[in-house]
Amino acid sequence: MEAPDTTQLETLVHQQLRECSPIFLALADPIRQDIIMMLTKHESLNVAQIVERSPMSRSAISHHLKILKQAGVVTSAKLATEIYYSLNIEGPVEYLKNFLATTELIIKQKSSGTE
C-alpha cells in the first residue's frame, strides 16, 4: 500500500487540528488544569466539592466544567440533585495522538524528500 502524499496528509492534519482545538482550549487554562488534576485523584466530584478545593467561585468553576465537558475531557452524571463530573481523557488523548502521528508523518516525508 502506497503512503499518502503530503497534500493528503496536510488535509488530514488540518481536519485533525480542528478536532483537537476544543481540547487545546480546555487544556490551556490553569484553572481547568487544576480541575483535571482534582479529577485524577477522585473518581468523581460535584461542583461544590471542586469549589472547596479551589479559590474560584461556583459560577467560575461551572464555566470551566462546561468548557471541559464540551471538549470531551470530562463527563457528567446526575445523582439525586447533584451533578458529578468525572475525567474522560481517553477520547481526547486519542485525537491528540492521531494529530501528532499525522504531523510526524508529514515531517518525515518532507525531510526525506518523498512529497
Does residue 115 carry a pLDDT above 60? no
pTM, to two decimals: 0.85
Structural domains of the chain, ranges and CATH numbers in brackets: 6-107 (1.10.10.10)
Cα–Cα distance for residue pair 1/46, rounded to 1 Å: 50
Predicted pLDDT of residue 72: 96
pLDDT digits (tens, 9 = 90+) for 55-86: 999 999 999 999 999 999 999 999 999 999 99
3-state secondary structure 60-106: HHHHHHHHHHHCCCEEEEEECCEEEEEECCHHHHHHHHHHHHHHHHH
Q: What is the DSSP letter of 87?
A: E
Q: Summarize the confidence of residues 14-40 as an average pLDDT.
A: 97
Confidence of residue 106 (pLDDT cuts 50, 70, 90): very high
Confidence of residue 6 (pLDDT cuts 50, 70, 90): confident
